[in-house]
Amino acid sequence: MTIKEFKIQLLPLKNRLFRLSMSLMKNRYDAEDAVQEVYTKIWKMQDKTDGIKNIEGFMLTMVRNHCLDKIKSKSNKFLSLNDEIAKQHESNPYESTEQTDMVENVKKVILQLPEQQRTIIQLRDIEGYDFNEITEITGWDINYLRVNLSRGRKKIKETINKIHHYETAKY
């Protein structure tokens, strides 16, 4: 693979790698640093990447592992969802505010999930990966993924329903 082909293959991954990093690192600057460090590592080993069938899965795994290593060494803060979701209803201020509040509530709930559930939800629901890709990235069993995805979604739904019920309750 030539350097030009290698660069072309890596560029579209930037946003996905960053979003995964953000979901784990809890801090924009640390997430950017993590992605940059992984790009540096992969750049240094580019002559050894010919045997890698799925460069995207390989890099997502590298980002995930790098972030988990960093998390173990210090505490971080993060934003788990893309703020673009909140901009879907910009034409109506009421809908926009309601949507922004809902996104913020979902972000807070995702923050409270265990790391495995948070990772699976990030990869499946936010990034759109299928179970086989997530299995390849994480190394977890597909049944483990499904169970934790289901539990994570259930926790999010229950918590959001409680918040919504509390906000709409009449006194």
Q: Which fold has domain 3-73?
A: Rna Polymerase Sigma Factor; Chain: A (1.10.1740)
Select the more confidently predicted residue: 86 or 56.
Answer: 56
Between CA 63 and CA 10 the distance in angstroms is: 13
Between CA 157 and CA 171 the distance in angstroms is: 24
For residue range 133-155, what is the model confidence (pLDDT) as tens digits? 888 888 999 999 999 999 999 99
For residue range 109-119, what is the model confidence (pLDDT) as tens digits? 998 999 899 99
**Tokens in use for 146?**
């499904």
For residue range 31-78, what is the model confidence (pLDDT) as tens digits? 888 888 888 888 788 777 777 778 788 888 889 888 888 777 654 333
Residues 88-168, CATH architecture: Orthogonal Bundle (1.10)
Between CA 5 and CA 127 the distance in angstroms is: 24
DSSP class per residue in 107-171: HHHHHHS-HHHHHHHIIIIIS---HHHHHHHH---HHHHHHHHHHHHHHHHHHHHHHHHHHH---
